[in-house]
Structure 1
């Protein structure tokens, strides 16, 4: 089972655990047009590795290789992030199955579910929690 971790707890882990990393598995379009977490206060980079490749949204056959190339070790505590938590959960499962020992899904992702008006970012998720983010 993969644990869902609230965004604020992820932030605390990134600040306090030298082995904690954040892997953003959204698409290049989401990174550029929606924004990304800003980890500058943690002194750590975001690890952007698409789970699905834009624009076809086909699974990224290089996902695990790119994770390794980004310097992610099997001993790291990896917090996976997507828009709402679905793709990041799938990525966490793939990483765990590949031997990564400490994998987590960021609950509600970067934007969370739709609100009553059909907009994201107002109900739950990284942005709603007031955690640092910026446009890339």
Structure 2
């Protein structure tokens, strides 16, 4: 079996595709506490909703073995493109690889490198150097 192929885009590139391609969607694979306390991307301005599905489940951070079925329950028919987002791009790559392996070539799986908060800066803080928030893309907090 061939390895699943996952491409990557930075957040601004992902936003552009999400905005221009009606069938593209964004899946935020972080945990419920991250969504609640750090915020989530906001796609309402382009007429879309972010799909929230944990890849690693809080608090144990074990891989969600039902991730792809849970994702498909929310979206129905797999779209042509799915973007995967986490804090920095690592968990989302794992989720994208698993989804690509299970869905095959019917859906292009794309990791959003840099993630929602991006890399740590010199002070050990995120959301300043890069990532969805630092690039000024739409987001909200509960």
Normalized against structure 2, the TM-score is what? 0.92
Q: Does 1:128 align with 2:126?
A: no
Local SS of the residue matching 1:70: helix
Local SS of the residue matching 2:75: coil
Q: Does 1:54 align with 2:58?
A: yes
RMSD between aligned residues? 1.1
Tell me the CA shift for residue 75 of structure 1: 3.8
Count of matched residue pairs: 136
Structure 1 segment 110-129 matched on structure 2, within 5 A: 110-129=116-135
User: Structure 1 or 2: larger helix share?
Assistant: 2
Tell me the CA shift for residue 72 of structure 1: 5.0
Structure 1: gaps of 5 or more residues? none
Tell me the CA shift for residue 62 of structure 1: 1.5
Deviations 1:75-102 (A, max 9, x none): 4300000000000000000010011521
Normalized against structure 1, the TM-score is what? 0.96
